[in-house]
């Protein structure tokens, strides 16, 4: 039976579908939406809290349930995000109405506005929560979680600035242009984990930060330039999967794609060779399913949610941790341990309870997004009031960053 709500949803989906330009690449938008939704789901399911007398502390179910590590292989979809980002950037770059500098400035400003907004708001929240008596450990935990996804925006900003160079490399070498990046990550991993590891400086791992994520972005640029076909996609899928298996089974890389408290080695932040191998396999798979996914998303009821998620991309990235904290912090102030929220993630019951909390976190994120999306809007230019607001927001954001990074 068709309900009135279903009829309204169908009509809205049809309008969204009709308003979509014919040239829109629905498959890549669908891949981006999938990668976007994996970010909050991964953080909400693979991260938790432990409440004690000092406040909330980060904890992970993977510390107890190591067998759940394969779920992180599915939820770690940043490789897809960078792949699609490269693909979309090269198309936008070729359509730029003026200079390359103007194109870059516009894209970087769009990335920076929401980050500045969430950081400024959290600077005010920290002061308010401290005044209300929230423990310092809870404030530190919350700040760490909020700033955690923002590193991605910083790295994405850098690789976006390299788009013109990526275009030249992709035109000359195709997808093979990304191979030296994989080699660079492999060399750094060998130095920090091999027989010479004891003599290596602690900052060496940071060298992987740019090539580790530029790898998938450059593949996306080559894909957008038409330099990677199905044969190349199959090579990426099979080669990435084989390398992934060898790193796990022969070289004993940590199985989890996300950091686990207490573990010495981590595959993320900065990315290890295992992350690059997964990105290669995911990229190949994405390229191979593109046509089928595009046909599937011709259905209005499937396409409309993809549009909504893509329009809310930066809001989801910047505010999903705030949604979880909006539930956990007030409960922690009462000293109550609530299953799946403020209890340690070390039982099967926690996993089941956390699944039940997901709709609550989603609802809070939707509520927050109603107000936070204003930070995505273009800044007013020219007025003293607008310039003053930007200056104040910048100072607040800088203060939050100093606190969150443990510099004060």
Statement: residue 1 has pLDDT above 70: no
pLDDT at 289: 96
Would you report the helix, strand and coil content of the chain in percent, each value rounded to 5? 75, 0, 20
What number of other Cβ atoms are within 10 A of residue 85's Cβ? 23
Statement: residue 407 has pLDDT above 70: no
pLDDT at 359: 97
Percent of the chain with pLDDT over 90: 68
Which residue has better confidence, 6 or 189?
189
Residues 15-36 have pLDDT tens digits of 988 888 888 899 999 999 999 9
Statement: residue 379 has pLDDT above 70: no
Residues 141-198 have pLDDT tens digits of 999 999 888 888 889 999 999 999 999 999 999 999 999 999 999 999 999 998 888 8
Phi-psi sector, 133: left (phi>0), alpha (psi -120 to 50), beta: left
The secondary element (H helix, E strand) that includes residue 52 is: strand 48-52
Q: How confident is the model at residue 6 (pLDDT cuts 50, 70, 90)?
A: low
Q: How far is CA 190 from CA 106, 158, 184, 205, 336, in A?
A: 39, 25, 10, 11, 46
pLDDT at 154: 87
Domain ranges of the chain: 25-404
Measured CA to CA, the distance from residue 68 to residue 71 in angstroms comes to 6
pLDDT at 12: 86
Residues 262-291 have pLDDT tens digits of 777 889 878 999 999 999 999 999 999 999
Q: Which of 333, 374, 317, 373 has its CA nearest to residue 49?
A: 333
Hey, what's the torsion of the CAs at 78, 280, 23, 20, to 10 degrees? -30
Q: Which two tokens stand for residue 236?
A: 């990426």
Residues 116-136 have pLDDT tens digits of 999 999 999 999 999 999 999
Percent of the chain with pLDDT over 70: 97
């Amino acid at each position: 039976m068709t309900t009135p709500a279903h009829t309204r949803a169908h009509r809205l989906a049809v309008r969204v579908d009709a308003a979509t330009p014919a040239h829109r690449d629905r498959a890549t938008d669908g891949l981006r939406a999938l990668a976007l939704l994996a970010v909050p789901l991964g953080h909400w399911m693979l991260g938790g809290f432990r409440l004690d007398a000092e406040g909330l502390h980060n904890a992970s179910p993977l510390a107890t349930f190591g067998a759940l590590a394969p779920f992180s292989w599915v939820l770690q979809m940043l490789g897809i995000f960078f792949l699609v980002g490269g693909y979309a950037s090269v198309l936008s770059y070729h359509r730029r109405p003026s200079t390359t500098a103007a194109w870059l400035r516009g894209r970087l400003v769009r990335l920076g506005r929401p980050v500045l907004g969430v950081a400024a708001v959290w600077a005010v929240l920290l002061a308010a929560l401290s005044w209300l008596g929230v423990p310092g450990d809870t404030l530190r935990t919350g700040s760490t979680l909020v700033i955690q996804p923002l590193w991605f925006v910083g790295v994405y900003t850098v690789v976006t600035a390299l788009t013109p160079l990526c275009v030249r490399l992709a035109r000359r070498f195709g997808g093979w242009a990304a191979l030296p990046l994989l080699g660079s990550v492999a060399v750094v991993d060998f130095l920090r984990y091999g027989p010479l590891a004891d003599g290596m400086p602690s900052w060496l791992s940071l060298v992987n930060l740019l090539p580790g994520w530029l790898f998938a972005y450059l593949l996306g640029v080559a894909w957008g330039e038409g330099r990677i076909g199905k044969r190349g996609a199959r090579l990426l899928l099979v080669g990435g999967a084989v390398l992934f298996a060898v790193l796990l089974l022969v070289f004993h890389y940590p199985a989890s794609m996300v950091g686990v408290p207490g573990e010495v080695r981590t595959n993320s932040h900065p990315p290890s060779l295992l992350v690059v191998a997964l990105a290669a396999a995911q990229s190949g798979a994405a390229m191979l399913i593109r046509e089928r996914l595009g046909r599937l998303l011709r259905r209005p009821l499937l396409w409309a949610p993809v549009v909504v998620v893509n329009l809310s991309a930066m809001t989801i990235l910047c505010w999903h941790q705030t949604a979880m904290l909006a539930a956990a912090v007030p409960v922690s102030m009462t000293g109550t341990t609530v299953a799946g929220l403020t209890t340690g993630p070390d039982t099967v019951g926690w996993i089941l309870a956390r699944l039940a909390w997901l709709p609550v976190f989603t609802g809070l994120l939707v509520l927050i997004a109603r107000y936070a999306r204003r930070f995505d809007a273009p800044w007013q230019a020219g007025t003293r009031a607008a310039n003053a607001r930007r200056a104040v927001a910048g100072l607040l954001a800088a203060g939050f960053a100093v606190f969150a990074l443990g510099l004060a």
